[in-house]
Amino acid sequence: MAGLSPPGVLFAVLGLAAIFAPFMTLAANRIVAGEGRALWTLAAPQITGPGIALMLLGLALGLPAARPFLRIAGAALGLAGLVWLLVLGASSLLAEAGDYARVSPAAGFWFLLVVFALMMADALSALSPGPAARAGLLVLVIALVGALLWSGALSNLSIAQEFASRKNAFYTASLRHLGLAFGSLLAAAVIGLPLGVLSHRNAGLRRALLPVLSFLQTIPSLAMFGIMIPVLSWLSGVIPGARAIGIAGIGFAPAFLALTLYSLLPVVANVLAGLRTAPAATLEAARGMGMTWRQRLTRVELPLGLPVVLSGLRIVLVQNIGLAVIAGLIGGGGYGTFVFQGLNQTAGDLILLGALPTVALALVSAIAMDILVELTTPRTEREE
């Protein structure tokens, strides 16, 4: 059995088990709990057959250890089978049900999706693609998912109906979520970079600053958002004109401020760590060449420390995309609005409408930032 990939065997076993789990649920309306339907009960065998065959073939192709390309092809076939079953299964289930019926993917679908996605990731990591190849793949996957959503093939699913009934709210929430996450990242970078550089040069400032920032980090995220509300409503009352530029106790401003404060520690700490990566000999050489400290900073220390600084920004971005969901609790908008509405109405698909884009955004940002970090890493280090 030497030719078998051990993870491939694991995927095959898990995948086969998941095929027997309920693949979709059919509910009489939006709120009631649905009944689970197994794969082969979704539609006529001539419709489900090809999909199941594709997935089995995919699991089988994942087995040979020495052929990562074959395993990638297997994962792609499996994902294709999964989408085939989801699209055709949804329309056939709806055809036999009432007007208000809702269909959603169930445990079996999600499980198989995870199995094939991990199979793809495992095979890809065996090839260890460079940053350009990874960026290309990321764009390809986004384009494929985008095309699938755009085509309307999934419009029978319950989550798509939740989307259709609040399209405009969804676009507003998306903009707001992106604004919160990227805006606070930008603000943290603008404040944190100079703070990091200054405290790199000044040990006294460093000793005073780091405990304060660590303290900010220990405040639970919920409380941080809550504390910002009175602080900002006080500010908007005291500072003339503050209200006119959108500083108010609830909404965007407190969420933005809370996220920015949270981001300062990782930014400053990583700037400090990054500036320390320049070897002493290199700095000595720079000093010997007669560079001023500003030249040493911009031409030696910052370029050498850039990957570390960027990985700090990666931590902040992923963290803020997740924390921005909490803004939904204090009227700050974003995808959290749907998550908390869904929790209140116990409407699972509305929760999904908020949670899935958040997860996707976090994943894409993490992968994109990893690629950036690798691109900025000096070539000699990468080859080691």
Partner 1 sequence: MSRSGMIRAACVALLLALVLRPHWFTPVFAPFAPAGGPVIYERASILSLSLSHLGLVALASGLATLVAVGLAILVTRPAGAAFLPLSRTITNIGQTFPPVAVLALAVPALGFGAGPTLVALFLYGLLPIFETAIAGLSTLPPATMEAARGIGLTRWQRLIRVELPLALPVILTGIRLSVVIAIGTATVGSTVAARTLGEVIIAGLLTSNTAFVLQGGVIVGLFAVLVYDALSLLETALTRRLGRQSAGAEA
DSSP annotation string for 222-268: HHHHHHHHHHHHHHHHHSTTTGGGT--SSSHHHHHHHHHHHHHHHHH
Shortest Cβ distance from residue 147 to partner 1 (Å)? 23
Q: Which two tokens stand for residue 303?
A: 């370029």
Residue 121 touching partner 1 (CB under 8 A)? yes
Residue 366 touching partner 1 (CB under 8 A)? yes
Residue 178 touching partner 1 (CB under 8 A)? no
Q: Is 24 helix (H, G, I), strand (E, B) or coil?
A: strand
Segment near partner 1 (CB under 8 A), from 15-23, 53-61, 195-203, 350-358?
350-358
Segment near partner 1 (CB under 8 A), from 69-77, 157-165, 265-273, 362-370?
362-370
Residue 36 touching partner 1 (CB under 8 A)? no
**CA count, 13 A, side-chain hemisphere, 207:** 3
Residue 227 touching partner 1 (CB under 8 A)? yes
Alpha-helical segments (H) within 37-130:
45-61, 68-95, 107-127
Residue 223 touching partner 1 (CB under 8 A)? yes
Residues sharing a CB contact under 8 Å with residue 279, sequence separation 6 or more, in sequence order: none
Residue 15 touching partner 1 (CB under 8 A)? no
C-alpha to C-alpha distances, 218 to 224, 318, 319, 378, nearest whole angstrom: 10, 18, 14, 34
Residue 251 touching partner 1 (CB under 8 A)? no
Q: How far apart are CA 103 and CA 36, in angstroms?
A: 10
Backbone angles phi, psi at 37, to 5 degrees: -125, 130
Q: Which two tokens stand for residue 258?
A: 């809370």
- Scan residues 56-115 and list those touching partner 1 (CB under 8 A): 65, 107
Residue 336 touching partner 1 (CB under 8 A)? yes
Q: Nearest Cα to 257, choosing from 332, 310, 311, 309?
A: 332
Residue 359 touching partner 1 (CB under 8 A)? yes
Element (H, E) at 169: helix 167-201
| Residue 154 DSSP one-character state | T
Residues sharing a CB contact under 8 Å with residue 157, sequence separation 6 or more, in sequence order: 86, 90, 103, 104, 105
Q: Which of 32, 69, 125, 378 binds partner 1 (CB under 8 A)?
A: 125
Q: Which two tokens stand for residue 333?
A: 């908008």
Scanning the structure block, which residue is given the tokens 């076939």? 77
- Scan residues 268-327 and list those touching partner 1 (CB under 8 A): 318, 321-323, 325-326
Scanning the structure block, which residue is given the tokens 């996605």? 117
Residue 46 touching partner 1 (CB under 8 A)? no
Shortest Cβ distance from residue 245 to partner 1 (Å)? 22
Q: Which of 73, 191, 355, 368 binds partner 1 (CB under 8 A)?
A: 355
Q: Which of 329, 368, 371, 375 binds partner 1 (CB under 8 A)?
A: 329
Q: Which of 77, 103, 185, 224 binds partner 1 (CB under 8 A)?
A: 224
Nearer to partner 1, 140 or 359 (CB): 359
Nearer to partner 1, 95 or 363 (CB): 363
Shortest Cβ distance from residue 104 to partner 1 (Å)? 9
Shortest Cβ distance from residue 337 to partner 1 (Å)? 12
Residue 208 touching partner 1 (CB under 8 A)? no
Q: Which of 220, 240, 241, 290 binds partner 1 (CB under 8 A)?
A: 220
Residues sharing a CB contact under 8 Å with residue 284, sequence separation 6 or more, in sequence order: none
Residue numbers at the binding site for partner 1 (CB under 8 A): 5-7, 10, 65, 107, 118, 121-122, 125-126, 218-227, 229-230, 318, 321-323, 325-326, 329-330, 336, 339-340, 342-343, 348, 351-352, 354-355, 358-359, 362-363, 366
